[in-house]
């Protein structure tokens, strides 16, 4: 993998070709095709290259380009997402799981270029076989990284102690004091939870895993860290249809030898909801106050947080909180 300095902001064709030329030093690029991909906070593109016929190597290449333009993280609000993701991919590769083939990364203005792997996201093929393969892949990731110290230098600490510390701090900034009550209520729900520790994806939904000829390919690791595996399980279940979610949990438990009693993941599902409500509202409040905020589409996220707010409030009231 090479390290190159990329210009900031959206790249012109000329600038992008300047980045690509050192990656293919013995091949002349004669055509560049770009297809933007909608992203929450980064510039993402699929790139197709055609090369001169008289040069050695394949006649074409399909690449994936990411220019890191956002700094928002659900777990820390502000983060160097390029450095975080690079470290996470290195860990997952060392764990023996398949990851994309990276060709170049940037330093000054962070970016990455990888070969586009053949295949489709699991989210686009939610049959039993694909969902079970995904479950087994995630169980393997959690198993081989079990009992990792939360003090791994290049991976964030996503332990419950750290997460609740930050949520309590941020919720105190929100004008709506019900949000602080939500965090306190949720913390009580976790008082008897015995926590485990492993590498967690952090944004574990079926769109971030690819079914490829090499097996399941793990994608989008900028939210990863060291925490409890139920963070990933709750995230996945909340993003899968009911039937697919059942297949996923059954296959995960078989592969990991874990057993879940009914309702065990419920607090973790509420953790995701409360996290989203807190982060969206504290960022919106900072924006209204003219303070610095992470670089991302916070209005879109605030809209989502507003939609799930009544759900958490209803859960609190049903328990007499």
pLDDT digits (tens, 9 = 90+) for 207-252: 999 999 888 999 999 999 999 999 999 999 999 999 999 999 999 9
Residue the block writes with tokens 């249809």:
241
- Binning pLDDT at 50, 70 and 90, where does residue 262 land? confident
**Digit-coded pLDDT (tens) for 24-41:** 988 899 999 999 998 888
- Binning pLDDT at 50, 70 and 90, where does residue 5 land? very low
- Model confidence at 8: pLDDT above 50: no
**Digit-coded pLDDT (tens) for 110-149:** 899 999 988 999 999 999 999 999 999 999 999 999 877 6
Average the pLDDT over 249-256 and give the result: 93
Residue ranges per structural domain of the chain? 19-115, 160-194+263-321
- Binning pLDDT at 50, 70 and 90, where does residue 151 land? low
Whether residue 135 contacts residue 201, with contact meaning beta carbons closer than 8 Å, is answered with no
Alpha-carbon distance 65 to 45, whole Å? 5
- Binning pLDDT at 50, 70 and 90, where does residue 9 land? low
Q: Which two tokens stand for residue 18?
A: 């300047």
- Binning pLDDT at 50, 70 and 90, where does residue 53 land? confident
- Model confidence at 176: pLDDT above 90: yes
Instruction: Return the pLDDT at 321.
Output: 59
The fraction of the chain above a pLDDT of 90, given in percent, is 69
**What helix, strand, coil percent values describe the chain, rounded to 5?**
45, 20, 35
State which H helix or E strand residue 286 sits in: helix 266-288
Opening angle at CA 258, ends 154 and 224, nearest 5? 20
- Model confidence at 150: pLDDT above 70: no
Reading phi first (left if > 0) and then psi (alpha if -120 to 50, else beta), residue 228 is in: beta
The fraction of the chain above a pLDDT of 70, given in percent, is 94
Alpha-carbon distance 117 to 129, whole Å? 20
Q: Which two tokens stand for residue 161?
A: 């102690």
Instruction: Return the pLDDT at 302.
Output: 84
- Binning pLDDT at 50, 70 and 90, where does residue 58 land? confident
CATH architecture of the domain formed by 19-115: 2-Layer Sandwich (3.30)
Instruction: Return the pLDDT at 124.
Output: 94
């Amino acid at each position: 993998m090479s390290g190159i300095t990329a210009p900031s902001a959206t790249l012109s064709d000329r600038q992008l070709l300047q980045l690509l030329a050192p990656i293919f030093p013995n091949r002349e690029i004669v055509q560049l095709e770009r297809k933007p991909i909608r992203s929450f906070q980064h510039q993402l593109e699929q790139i197709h290259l055609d090369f001169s016929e008289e040069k050695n190597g394949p006649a074409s290449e399909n690449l994936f380009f990411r220019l890191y333009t956002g700094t928002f993280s659900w777990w820390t609000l502000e983060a160097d997402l390029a450095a975080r993701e690079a470290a996470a991919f290195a860990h997952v590769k060392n764990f023996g799981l398949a990851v994309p083939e990276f060709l170049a990364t940037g330093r000054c203005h962070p970016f990455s270029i990888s070969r586009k792997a053949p295949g489709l996201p699991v989210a686009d093929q939610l049959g039993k076989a694909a969902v079970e393969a995904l479950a087994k892949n995630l169980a393997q990731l959690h198993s081989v990284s079990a009992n990792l110290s939360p003090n791994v230098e290049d991976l964030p600490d996503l332990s419950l102690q750290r997460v609740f510390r930050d949520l309590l701090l941020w919720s105190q900034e929100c004008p709506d004091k019900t949000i602080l009550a939500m965090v306190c209520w949720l913390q009580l729900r976790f008082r008897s939870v015995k926590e485990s520790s492993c590498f967690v994806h952090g944004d574990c939904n079926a769109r971030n895993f690819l079914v490829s000829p090499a097996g399941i390919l793990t994608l989008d690791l900028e939210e990863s860290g060291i925490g409890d595996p139920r963070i990933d399980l709750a995230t996945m279940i909340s993003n899968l249809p009911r039937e697919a979610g059942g297949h996923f949990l059954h296959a995960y438990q078989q592969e990991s030898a874990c057993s879940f009693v009914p309702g065990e993941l419920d607090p973790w599902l509420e953790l995701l909801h409360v996290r989203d409500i807190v982060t969206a509202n504290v960022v919106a409040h900072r924006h209204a106050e003219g303070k610095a905020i992470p670089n991302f589409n916070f209005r879109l996220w605030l809209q989502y947080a507003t939609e799930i707010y009544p759900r958490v409030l209803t859960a609190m009231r049903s328990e007499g909180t």
